[in-house]
Amino acid sequence: MKKPDSRQPCKWLGIDTGGTFTDFVLYDGETLRIHKVLSTPQAPERAILQGMEELGVSTDGLQVVHGSTVATNAVLERKGVRTVYITNKGLGDVLTIGRQARRELYNLQPQPRPPPVPPELCLEVDARIAADGGRVSELGENDREMLLERIAALKPQAVAINLLFSFVDDTDERTIESWLPDSLFVSRSSGVLSEYREYERGIATWLNAWIGPLVAGYLERLNARLAPAPVAVMQSAGGTVSAARAGRKAVQLLLSGPAGGLMGARYVGRQAGFEQLLTFDMGGTSTDVALVEGEIRLTSEGHIGPWPVAVPMVDMHTIGAGGGSIACIDSGGLLQVGPESAGADPGPACYGRGGKRPTVSDANLVLGRLQADAFLGGAMTLDSQAAAAALRPVAEAMDVSIEAAALGVVEIANEHMAQALRIISVQRGVDPCNHVLVSFGGAGGLHVCALAEALGMSRAMVPVHAGVLSALGMLTAPCARQLSRTVSGLLDQLDETELEQQLQALAGNGRDELRAEGVDAHETEARFSLDLRYRGQSSTLNLAWQGKAVTQEAFHTAHEQRYGHRLEIPVELVNLRCGLHGKPPGIKLPAVADAGQGPSRAVRVAGCAGQVSLWERAEMGEGQEIKGPALIIETVATTWLPEGWSCRVDAVGNLLLEKL
């Protein structure tokens, strides 16, 4: 994020566009202001402009960091542009064949899935290089004439170019790009993912081209509406990039919002003295869970919809369980929750916008864990009668009371989320008991204690401004790049000096890009790592580069922790990686007052014998302690503290929860 002119007043605005709400965090150098508005999925910029108007913030002296769902939604809804895919002769069906993985293992007649690129849009050129970079056949004038003729007839908006071994020599890809009309959005595999694996590289390149014009167009409109404020965009790997460059790398924005949440969780966790975190981001549509152990983990084995996304992104697991997840009785008479969501329009029945189907939010309102007059700080009143009416058919089908049905909905949603947390911890050999469960998102605080108990954890934290933590995290993220290159060979046989030189070359390319965005080269930090595997394996583990001998031993140890064994066979290098980032913005959380106020009133919560105290989080002071059962409300979220749990407020307002 480029530094603003020091002569002007400076404000930073983090904007996270989610499926249900668009969140805002405004920082003026001393204080934070937060805000939420309902998202406008058909034109996300409308909600952004509405929120800024309601905040009363002008664009003068403003720095904007934005997390966008435009790329994600375009992929999930299959609404990309008409895209031609160019590859080598005989390889036009690689994206259709894929890895031949079966979605339904025992279904002998599965429904066919439409190919990523229809056959008529797959064009092949008669040129090829070998794995060692040697020339097999030349790219000729016949190829040029064929491509230009077919593209003129097909009239695409974008072109994806993916040739064999372009990570060794991308001359042919660059030549083809130079032939194409300037009006086309062109994506080269060597510019998107300079790594081996033809299918994964091809999918990443195609996705980048398929959604690129949509993302670029949206960011251009947003830039124009927010001028003169510079706009940076959150990337899937946890750093920011200027909006002008982000449009060319749309595939790197698929986890834009969730990455902001992880940056925020790590930031507030460190402020509270916690490095070992399990994070749990529950919004209106989905829940994202991740493991943070000092640094945020990245993966190159992510997925979006049915497709692999091999570009680096935060390592998280996402499920369709959120406040808007719809509950229903299936054909076998069992209660199911999600993954279908009520979204922002019409939203849960309790929003009073025409929704009729029961959701997790409706269940929490019926149980009293959400208060009808305390939602969004009282700016939006929830409809308790509509929530009860939506749950009534479920209750009748189960032959239980409405409250019992609501409790069942919440418990099933909790089990879905607990299982997701086990996947990213227990299944990776990590004991969650040694970690702190950090909950955020508008709905997270309602479920955090139940999830901690399900995982045998005794500590949890609901960060200050947890309902907008993704937007806050965007303000803590530095301008960054993730670069990679395939270099194959047995680690023992590779020259260490040459490896160092290639890693430094990657860093040099990244510094050039960051310098173009105003980042001082002296303020950048590079982190080098290698993708390693035992010879004969297909999967890799990513290890920090510490020299050949130390890195190789670290691989054996990591393999044993993940898979339970180590092997006495050679270790193979697959990819070099460089993570490069500038200096993070100096965001500081303001301290809360020492003395806090008592509860504002008592309310009824299902399952509790007496009245439950209701606390205003904004009125709670540093060091204040309460015991459950209690409800803690704030403008953008609610925390349910059940019996057997205590809560203490730290210096900046984080709620530190502990099992008694």
Q: What is the rounded average pLDDT of the residues 449-455?
A: 95
Residue 5 pLDDT > 60:
no
| pLDDT at 578 (0 to 100) | 95
Distance in angstroms between the alpha carbons of the first and the last residue of the chain: 44
pLDDT single digits (tens) 391-431: 999 999 999 999 999 999 999 999 999 999 999 999 888 89
* Same domain membership, residue 503 and residue 534: yes
Helix (H) or strand (E) holding 420: helix 402-423
**Rounded to 5 degrees, what angle do the CA atoms 422, 427, 433 make?**
55
| pLDDT at 2 (0 to 100) | 44
* Same domain membership, residue 509 and residue 383: no
Residue 579 pLDDT > 90:
yes
| pLDDT at 324 (0 to 100) | 86
Structural contact between residues 530 and 609, judged by C-beta atoms closer than 8 angstroms: no
Dist CA 284 CA 507 (whole Å) = 39
Structural contact between residues 167 and 202, judged by C-beta atoms closer than 8 angstroms: no
pLDDT single digits (tens) 118-143: 999 999 999 999 998 999 999 999 99
pLDDT single digits (tens) 473-514: 999 999 999 999 999 999 999 999 999 999 999 999 999 999
Q: Is 520 part of a structural domain of the chain?
A: yes
Dist CA 612 CA 605 (whole Å) = 7
Dist CA 21 CA 417 (whole Å) = 21
| pLDDT at 373 (0 to 100) | 85
Computed over every residue of the chain, the mean pLDDT equals 90
Residue 283 pLDDT > 80:
no
pLDDT band at 377 (very low <50, low <70, confident <90, very high): low
Dist CA 251 CA 248 (whole Å) = 9
Q: Is 641 part of a structural domain of the chain?
A: yes
Q: What is the rounded average pLDDT of the residues 258-269?
A: 92
Q: What is the rounded average pLDDT of the residues 311-336?
A: 88
Q: Is 94 part of a structural domain of the chain?
A: yes
Least confident piece of the model among 335-344, 361-370, 548-557: 335-344
Dist CA 35 CA 40 (whole Å) = 15
Q: Is 181 part of a structural domain of the chain?
A: yes
| pLDDT at 9 (0 to 100) | 40
Last residue of a domain, one of 211, 238, 268: 211
Dist CA 328 CA 645 (whole Å) = 31
* Same domain membership, residue 620 and residue 572: no
| pLDDT at 287 (0 to 100) | 84
Dist CA 581 CA 523 (whole Å) = 8
Helix (H) or strand (E) holding 274: none
| pLDDT at 8 (0 to 100) | 43
Q: Which of 344, 390, 400, 346 shows the shortest CA–CA distance to 365?
A: 390
Q: Is 557 part of a structural domain of the chain?
A: yes
* Same domain membership, residue 577 and residue 606: no
Most trustworthy range by pLDDT among 91-100, 177-186, 345-354, 510-519: 177-186
Query: Which CATH number does the domain housing residue 98 bear?
Result: 3.40.50
* Same domain membership, residue 199 and residue 81: yes
Q: Is 572 part of a structural domain of the chain?
A: yes
Torsion of CA 438, 442, 443, 447, to 10 degrees: 20
* Same domain membership, residue 200 and residue 160: yes
Last residue of a domain, one of 382, 413, 444: 413
pLDDT single digits (tens) 584-637: 887 888 888 887 778 888 899 998 988 999 999 888 999 999 998 999 998 878
Q: Is 501 part of a structural domain of the chain?
A: yes
pLDDT single digits (tens) 145-201: 999 999 999 999 999 999 999 999 999 999 999 999 999 999 999 999 999 999 999
Query: Which CATH number does the domain housing residue 493 bear?
Result: 3.30.1490
Q: Which of 229, 227, 290, 234 shows the shortest CA–CA distance to 262?
A: 290
Higher pLDDT, 482 or 341: 482
Domain that holds residue 574: 480-581
Q: Is 588 part of a structural domain of the chain?
A: no
* Same domain membership, residue 86 and residue 190: yes
Helix (H) or strand (E) holding 282: strand 276-282
* Same domain membership, residue 207 and residue 111: yes
| pLDDT at 458 (0 to 100) | 95
* Same domain membership, residue 549 and residue 487: yes
Amino acid at 277: L
The domain tally of the chain equals: 4
| pLDDT at 393 (0 to 100) | 94
Structural contact between residues 25 and 468, judged by C-beta atoms closer than 8 angstroms: yes
pLDDT single digits (tens) 7-49: 344 789 999 998 778 999 999 888 889 898 888 888 899 999 9
b/e per residue 297-333 (b: at least 16 CB within 10 A):
bbbbebebeebbbbbbbbbbbbbbbbbbbbbbeeeee
| pLDDT at 467 (0 to 100) | 80
Place of tokens 């590779």: 494
Compute how many other C-beta atoms are within 10 angstroms of the C-beta atom of residue 244: 17
* Same domain membership, residue 188 and residue 87: yes
b/e per residue 512-530 (b: at least 16 CB within 10 A):
ebbeebebeeeebebebbb
SS3 content of the chain, % helix, strand, coil (to 5): 35, 25, 40
Least confident piece of the model among 69-78, 86-95, 240-249, 433-442: 69-78
* Same domain membership, residue 383 and residue 354: yes
Token pair, residue 571, equals: 């270790």
Helices (H), 448-533: 448-454, 469-476, 496-516
Structural contact between residues 254 and 304, judged by C-beta atoms closer than 8 angstroms: yes
Structural contact between residues 299 and 311, judged by C-beta atoms closer than 8 angstroms: no
Structural contact between residues 487 and 594, judged by C-beta atoms closer than 8 angstroms: no
Q: What is the rounded average pLDDT of the residues 650-654?
A: 92
Q: Which of 149, 160, 196, 165 shows the shortest CA–CA distance to 82?
A: 160
Last residue of a domain, one of 413, 447, 469: 413
Structural contact between residues 229 and 243, judged by C-beta atoms closer than 8 angstroms: no
Higher pLDDT, 338 or 7: 338
CB burial of residue 245 (10 Å; 0-12, 13-18, 19+): middle
* Same domain membership, residue 409 and residue 380: yes
pLDDT band at 561 (very low <50, low <70, confident <90, very high): confident
